[in-house]
């Protein structure tokens, strides 16, 4: 079970981080365009990209939570818990900032966006940049922890002394 949770966690977190990075690049490219172009592209993004986000973030969260539980006695527990915390941060930012803005933007008219469209765009992009960094960090932490799950050693001095004598 741990092996499968690690695989799903890594694959889904990696896909999600890559997806967010791609959207960030697109969004930063849009900064050079006017309100009409920005709104048209956002409406296209909002058509289906939320489905891809859900399809990659939710399995990543669930698998990472399972992995954190399953690795409680290994050296990878804390990196896994850190990755889970980062993914929860991503979910929180998404629910608190990005999704409400997405919902509002669905009703924008590309020919006459609201007068504060740049303020809304900037708020969305800042939150998106933060969640992208958090998702990439979560993936990196999971990737670095993946090859080396070992049982934690006892901290008792007698145990390590006995182990050293047995090796000699």
Predicted local distance difference test score (pLDDT) of residue 131: 97
pLDDT per residue as tens digits for the range 48-63: 999 999 999 999 999 9
Please give the pLDDT value at position 5.
Answer: 86
Residue-wise pLDDT tens digits, 133-144: 999 999 999 999
| Structure token digits, residue 124 | 């969305």
Model pLDDT for residues 17-26, shown as the tens digit of each residue: 999 999 999 9
Say whether pLDDT at 167 is over 70. no
Nearest partner of 152 among 72, 39, 86, 53, judged by Cα = 72
Q: Which of 115-124, 138-147, 151-160 has the lowest mean pLDDT?
A: 151-160
pLDDT value at 155 more than 70: no
Q: pLDDT value at position 71?
A: 82
pTM of the model: 0.82
Of 18, 22, 17, nearest in space to 90 by CA: 17
Helix (H, G, I), strand (E, B) or coil at 143: helix
């Amino acid at each position: 079970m741990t092996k499968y949770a690690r695989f799903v966690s890594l694959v889904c977190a990696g896909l999600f981080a890559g997806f967010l990075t791609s959207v960030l690049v697109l969004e930063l490219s849009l900064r050079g365009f006017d309100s009409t172009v920005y709104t048209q592209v956002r409406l296209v993004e909002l058509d289906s990209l939320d489905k891809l986000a859900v399809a990659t973030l939710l399995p990543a969260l669930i698998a990472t939570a399972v992995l954190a539980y399953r690795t409680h006695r290994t050296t990878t527990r804390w990196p896994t818990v850190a990755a889970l915390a980062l993914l929860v941060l991503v979910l929180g930012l998404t629910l608190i900032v990005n999704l409400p803005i997405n919902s509002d933007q669905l009703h924008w008219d590309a020919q006459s966006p609201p007068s504060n469209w740049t303020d809304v765009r900037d708020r969305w992009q800042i939150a998106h940049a933060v969640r992208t960094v958090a998702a990439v960090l979560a993936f990196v932490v999971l990737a670095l922890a993946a090859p080396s799950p070992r049982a934690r050693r006892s901290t008792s001095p007698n145990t390590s002394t006995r182990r050293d004598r047995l090796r000699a």
